[in-house]
A = this chain, B = another copy of it.
Amino acid sequence: MSKAKSTAGNFFEDFRVGQVLQHATPRTLTVGDVALNIAFYGMRFAVQSSDHFAKAIGYARAPIDDLIVFHVVLGKTVSDISLNAVANLGYAEMRFLAPVFPGDSLSASSEVIGLRETSNKQAGVVYVRTKSVNQDGAPILEYARWVMVNKRDHAAKVGEAVVPKLDARVDPAKIGSAVPKLDLSAYDFALAGSAHRWGDYEPGEKIDHIDGYTIEEAEHQLETRLYQNTARVHFNLHEQIEKGRFKKRLVYGGTPLSLARGISFNGLANAFHIAAINGGSHVAPSFAGDTIYAWSEILEKAEIPGRSDIGALRVRLVGVKNRHCHDFPLKTADGKYEEGVVLDLDWWLVLPR
């Protein structure tokens, strides 16, 4: 009877293709989350920081940082999808579909779209498509994600492998719906922190974001709990010492991601909206005491059909720990990531034109 009511999470053999999991817990985002997001990552994008600035250009008020939405939605899925995950393998086709404002309540569900057992039959890759809606049922965020999940019983028989075909790049024609029509005459570039618009960036351009932030245990724990993320490796030192691979807590991958985003303000101050994430991987783990730096490369420049107010930049964001980024560390000659790289992300950012 001891564990009848509590759960240790799903294992690989518990999933079925086509299965839909409704995730607990719905969550109202508020200005409390907004303040914490600034305290956690030093976010300085004017649109999300100031109601007055946001209203002037056409928002109802300051929208909530896209990455808060991402973290909160991802956090909901952990108990059902990745509590027994051994590796977070990737993301694709992630789109931010509508602005989220303080007071909005988000819920999320995931459909299993693929399953593939590993060759050693001890685990398998679970592919899901996660969708989040607000209190009106309006789509807010959608993405595909795949994680490697342990089997409970290595001998358990599982079905044929199903591997979904996922786009390597979100079509720019499908992004931008989270940004209202902007009145750029009211967009104050001095207040926003930079004169550089969409048109000022060119593919191939690399930007060292210069600053570095050191992560403390209390910080990443507060962050990860705020997202109601229950992954044990982030919170439980006792268990990590007992049976963890590193004998210490691992930092949630979203922490270096949001830190890198915060740091990227220095060079991309007007890239106020994350419209889509084409792909991304957490290259190496971070731990308390690590200092996160970041750099970006402009990969592509795209117009958004029907929008003369905003344009999109496809940007590679690289997060690096304990190492400056003036030499843009990425991969060695043999194609492996250089020492220190923790994050390699490919996303569409929106800027005023």
Q: Contact: B237 with A289, CB < 8 Å?
A: yes
Q: Contact: A291 with B237, CB < 8 Å?
A: yes
* Chain B contacts for A249, CB-based, 8 A: 214
Question: Distance in Å from the Cβ of A35 to the closest Cβ of chain B?
Answer: 3
A247 lies within 8 A of chain B by Cβ = no
Query: Complex formed: what's the CA distance from A275 to B166 in Å?
Result: 49
Give me the interface of A with B, judged by CB distance under 8 Å. 1-8, 22, 24-28, 30-36, 38-46, 49-53, 62, 79, 102-103, 105, 107, 135, 190-194, 196, 200-201, 205-214, 216-219, 221-223, 225-226, 228, 230, 232, 235-239, 249, 266-269, 289, 291, 322-323, 326, 328
User: Which of B31, B42, B208, B218 contacts A228 (CB under 8 A)?
Assistant: B42
Oligomeric state, in copies: 3
Q: Contact: B6 with A207, CB < 8 Å?
A: yes
Question: Distance in Å from the Cβ of A163 to the closest Cβ of chain B?
Answer: 28
Sample (8) of A-B pairs whose CB atoms are under 8 Å apart? A1-B205, A1-B206, A3-B208, A4-B207, A26-B53, A212-B236, A214-B217, A238-B291
The residue in chain B whose Cβ has the minimal distance to the Cβ of A235 is: B213
Q: Contact: A26 with B49, CB < 8 Å?
A: yes
Q: Contact: B50 with A28, CB < 8 Å?
A: yes
User: Which of B49, B105, B267 contacts A53 (CB under 8 A)?
Assistant: B105
Query: Complex formed: what's the CA distance from A217 to B344 in Å?
Result: 28
Max count, chain B CB within 10 A of own CB: residue among A40, A46, A51? A51
Q: Contact: B191 with A2, CB < 8 Å?
A: no
The residue in chain B whose Cβ has the minimal distance to the Cβ of A45 is: B25
Q: Contact: A40 with B225, CB < 8 Å?
A: yes
Main secondary structure of the interface of A (DSSP, over half): mixed
Question: Distance in Å from the Cβ of A134 to the closest Cβ of chain B?
Answer: 8
* Chain B contacts for A269, CB-based, 8 A: 24
User: Which of B5, B27, B38, B326 contacts A194 (CB under 8 A)?
Assistant: B5
* Chain B contacts for A28, CB-based, 8 A: 49-52, 62
Query: Complex formed: what's the CA distance from A26 to B211 in Å?
Result: 21
The residue in chain B whose Cβ has the minimal distance to the Cβ of A295 is: B2
With A2-B326, A36-B32, A105-B52 known to touch, is A236 a contact of B25 (CB < 8 Å)? no
Query: Complex formed: what's the CA distance from A192 to B25 in Å?
Result: 6
The residue in chain B whose Cβ has the minimal distance to the Cβ of A192 is: B24
